[in-house]
Amino acid sequence: MVFRLVAARTIEEKVMALKERKASMVGAVLGDDEEFFSQGLGADDIRGLFDGGV
């Protein structure tokens, strides 16, 4: 078993959260979940990687 340690309030934490969101969007595309399918990855999502808050 492997554990990944990610420091709080870092860009790595934000990248991991974005990765989870993208994975759920891919699941929605392959499945029948139209709610997630209608959402896209926008400029605010990218900017969120670099802002000061989490």
Per-residue pLDDT of 23-51, as tens digits, reads 887 777 666 655 555 566 677 877 877 88
pLDDT confidence of residue 52: 65
Q: Does residue 41 lie within any of the structural domains?
A: yes
Q: Does residue 37 lie within any of the structural domains?
A: yes
Q: Does residue 1 lie within any of the structural domains?
A: no
Q: Work out the pLDDT band at 12, boundaries 50, 70, 90.
A: very high
Q: Does residue 54 lie within any of the structural domains?
A: no
Q: Does residue 18 lie within any of the structural domains?
A: yes
The structural domain count of the chain equals: 1
CA 8, 52, 47, 40 dihedral sign is positive
pLDDT confidence of residue 34: 57
Q: What is the pTM of this model?
A: 0.53
Q: Does residue 23 lie within any of the structural domains?
A: yes
Q: Does residue 17 lie within any of the structural domains?
A: yes
